[in-house]
Structure 1
Amino acid sequence: MTNQSKENGSRVVSRRRFTALSAGALTAGLAGCFGDDPQDDGGDSDAEFTVFASMPAVWDFVRQTAGDHMEAIDLVPIGEHGHDWTPEPGTVEELDEADGFVYLRDFATWQDNAADQLSERDDVVVIEASEGIEFFDSPAEDNDEHWWMDPVECQEGVENIADGLAKIDPDNADDYEANAAAFNDELEALNEDIHDIVDRAELEDIVVATHDSFQWWYSRYDINIHSPVGTSPDDAASAADVERVEELIDDIGIEHVLYDVGEPAPLAESLANEVDAEILPLSPVETQMDGSPAIDPTVEMEPDWGYIDHFRELNLPTLETALWAE
């Protein structure tokens, strides 16, 4: 990564001015997110530096890269969907003590607004995890930003974070680089395992009956993802969209309807019942959960799961079954 990329990938803000954001998009009732947060990984509470992450996947990238040198805190509360959640009006005193803030561009308006407002300050390093990652026009949306669903693209995001953490703590820059390299090896192994599933698969198509965060699998692995809902958690499926997906299920012989574990899934249930299919879970790594999704008591999630856990516990088994790769 070039020095210019490193410079573009992190911006600094004054912690003295951070509370001034209370009138803007980051005026957040975040006090309830801290303290007894089950996502606290039990790391060194006396860590010299604290870095706030804007959603669960990014939170894990930060803690994997930071190691014991920093405390990583996920702003998204347990049980909330990262794409759907926004800070509530309230206080930002705890964020005022942050040494770093890691965000995704074009993921949520409040994140971009916060980064814009903080771009010319000093003392707090603002890291754009998406720096240098090119979005693409997917079958679901133009400029699809869900790059973290691709373990290969994630490796660049992790490097961006390592560069930003080194700006916060130059004395341990070598550790951040080494931690990032070790975690990227895990991400590459995950990528190879997904390729192995696809190579063994008899099908090329899956149906996701909640919002579609998975089109980067189409780009990387040639998996066709069909959803009657679209990319927004707030979108609703039309009768025509549902009928179209039902016809596709019948034509291809699909036997499974997949759902996002962080979203209400009545459509997945009704669609599965209509076509006599089995429901299977998927995680876009946007929700940490302590227990089971409402529609599926067979799934048991832990609130401190990392990115690799979400894939190996949920996504890989579901893909293997749904694509007939067992």
Structure 2
Amino acid sequence: MKKLLILLVFPALLLAGCNNEAASEDQNGNEKVKVVTTIAQIADVARNVGGDNVEVESLMGPGTDPHLYKATHSDIELLQEADIIFYNGHHLEGQMNKVFKKMRQQKPTYAVAESIPEEKMDADPENPEIYDPHVWFDVTMWQYTVDEVAKGLSDLDPDNTEAYEKNAENYKQKLDELHKYAKEQINKIPEESRVLVTAHDAFHYFGKAYGLEVRGLQGLSTESEFGLKDVQRIVDLLSERNIKAVFVESSVSERSINAVVEGAKENGHNVKIGGELYSDAMGPEDTKEGTYIGMFKHNIETIVNALK
């Protein structure tokens, strides 16, 4: 019986030893930097800049509202296991500020949107001391975050600095092409129809960069509530300007925009839902809209098709 037990146990121990040795060899030869981000837009930047040298995870998936997001126990564990953390900043992830403050004492933690020069930022009309955090809607502003991610990775992993810098430059060239594409497409919309109405004020940088007037039912954060006066304000705008389409957002309840559509109908003005836009969240990872460029193009095409 003892001989049989030894015969059974010894191979298992030997196999376990081999597995541990293999894992050790992988770590010594091909160890990847563990990157954790909040929103998927930043995760996409990290993947493009980091390439094969990083392993990236995003806390917030499709349809997630970062304004209201609270870190779970598993999120805290993931952040603790990370080598480096990238988040947006400017109060986008308002419920997680204490978490970032704690993590900053333990490891490199970057608020990538706060690398953008202040003169390029817009203040919140309701809270002038706070900047609008939705910087990814101006491609030229978002390029600053690419440089910030490259810097963070290079400081942590200097042996691969050349690769990070090269990847960042290549990605920014793609973003230059995206910026040009967006301008060309928006120009297809008649000037009088270039009015973008959405659930909350996420698209102001987009409007400034590409020539649209942007109106939102709620403020910069979805934490703010909308009331009957807000609905009536948008309904009046739709009627006066003869606007034919409004847009829902993937991370915001359709309830607010549906109230606008119904209010316009009661006023004798028919308005349609022009489509779903990605505002604070992107699409699923395995889709075109799960990348920053794919998400941006989806929004452009949806807006142009509805308003032109």
Report the TM-score range of the alignment, normalised by the length of the smaller protein.
0.7 to 0.9
User: Which consecutive residues of structure 1, in runs of 5 or more, have no partner in the other structure?
Assistant: 1-45, 291-300
- C-alpha distance in structure 1 between counterparts of 2:284 and 2:66, whole Å: 12
| Equivalent position of 1:184 in the other structure | 172
| Equivalent position of 1:43 in the other structure | none
1:204 matched to 2:187? The reply is: no
| Equivalent position of 2:55 in the other structure | 71
Pair 111,175 (structure 1): closer, same or farther in 2 beyond 3 Å: farther
1:108 matched to 2:93? The reply is: yes
1:308 matched to 2:293? The reply is: yes
* Structure 1 residue matching 2:290: 3-state secondary structure: coil
Q: Displacement, 1:199?
A: 2.6
- C-alpha distance in structure 1 between counterparts of 2:109 and 2:254, whole Å: 35
- Contact residue 250 and residue 278 of structure 2 kept, 8 A: yes
1:246 matched to 2:231? The reply is: no
Alignment partner of 1:88 out of 72, 76, 82: 72
- C-alpha distance in structure 2 between counterparts of 1:100 and 1:174, whole Å: 18
- Contact residue 34 and residue 55 of structure 2 kept, 8 A: yes
| Equivalent position of 2:244 in the other structure | 255
Q: Displacement, 1:250?
A: 1.4
| Equivalent position of 2:83 in the other structure | 99
TM-score, L = length of structure 2: 0.78
| Equivalent position of 1:283 in the other structure | 278
Letter in 1 for 2:279: P
User: Which consecutive residues of structure 2, in runs of 5 or more, have no partner in the other structure?
Assistant: 1-29
Q: State the Cα RMSD in Å.
A: 2.4
- Contact residue 89 and residue 111 of structure 2 kept, 8 A: yes
Q: Displacement, 1:141?
A: 6.0
Deviations 1:71-111 (A, max 9, x none): 01001144422332111346733432211100122222344
Q: Displacement, 1:320?
A: 0.9
Structure 1 residue runs of 4 or more that deviate by more than 6 Å after TM superposition: none
- Contact residue 53 and residue 59 of structure 1 kept, 8 A: yes
Pair 111,157 (structure 1): closer, same or farther in 2 beyond 3 Å: farther
Q: How does 1:127-276 map to 2 (within 5 A)?
A: 127-133=110-116, 134=118, 135-137=121-123, 142=128, 143-202=131-190, 203-208=193-198, 210-273=199-262, 274=265, 275-276=269-270
- Contact residue 195 and residue 214 of structure 2 kept, 8 A: yes
* Structure 2 residue matching 1:72: 3-state secondary structure: strand
Structure with bigger helix share is: 2
- C-alpha distance in structure 2 between counterparts of 1:92 and 1:197, whole Å: 42
Letter in 2 for 1:310: M
- Contact residue 138 and residue 215 of structure 1 kept, 8 A: no
Pair 205,103 (structure 1): closer, same or farther in 2 beyond 3 Å: same
Letter in 2 for 1:117: K
TM-score, L = length of structure 1: 0.74
* Structure 1 residue matching 2:64: 3-state secondary structure: coil
- C-alpha distance in structure 1 between counterparts of 2:126 and 2:287, whole Å: 30
Pair 69,304 (structure 1): closer, same or farther in 2 beyond 3 Å: farther
Q: Displacement, 1:51?
A: 0.4
Q: Displacement, 1:193?
A: 1.5
Pair 79,199 (structure 1): closer, same or farther in 2 beyond 3 Å: closer
